[in-house]
Amino acid sequence: MLKKPLRAWFECISGCGATYPLNEIVYRCDKCGDLLEVRHDVEALKQRSPTAWAELFDQRYRTSEWPYGSSVWGKKEIVCPTVDNDNIVSMYEGGSNLFWAERLGKEIGLDDLWVKQCGNSHTGSFKDLGMTVLVSMVRQMRAEGKSIP
């Protein structure tokens, strides 16, 4: 068990210092109008070693334990640590195969090129990976009593 809770937030990419909680509906920085990115408390993540994180994620990969069988939620701590498992909406997204691209690799001078094809999922769209996080976050916000316009 981690002593320090894992946290993530939105932060302005311009460096103006503006931050926003993940459960706030915000599209651009209110301070300067620039874009936002998700940032993580790296010190909290360091409570586990890189090897321990890799072992945990490998253990969860394609498991039947809810919600960790999804290759998105199997890495919940670095995807969206603030969503309660009860609020996750998932169809076990991700986990699509890598394909050896021998001919393409030869064309561009790489002997061992593998490509990820996210479009071969059950819905045919790579967008599933982001939508499971969005829908789960909305469900979390509703559980917290937040207004969703």
30-34, 63-67, 107-111: lowest mean pLDDT where?
A: 63-67
pLDDT digits (tens, 9 = 90+) for 8-37: 999 999 999 999 999 999 999 999 999 999
- pTM of the model as a whole: 0.82
* pLDDT, tens only, 77-105: 999 999 999 999 998 888 888 899 999 99
3-state secondary structure of 18: coil
Q: What is the mean pLDDT of the chain?
A: 93
* 127 vs 96: CA distance, rounded Å: 13
Structural domain span for residue 32:
1-47
Same domain, 66 and 43: no
C-beta of residue 118 within 8 angstroms of C-beta of residue 126:
yes
Copy the structure tokens of residue 70.
């999804």
Q: Is residue 69 part of a domain?
A: yes
The Cα–Cα gap between 60 and 71 comes to: 8
pLDDT at 40 over 90: yes
Q: pLDDT at position 62, please?
A: 80
Please give the Cα distance from 103 to 26 (Å, whole number). 44
Q: How many domains does the chain have?
A: 2
Same domain (yes/no): 39, 93 = no
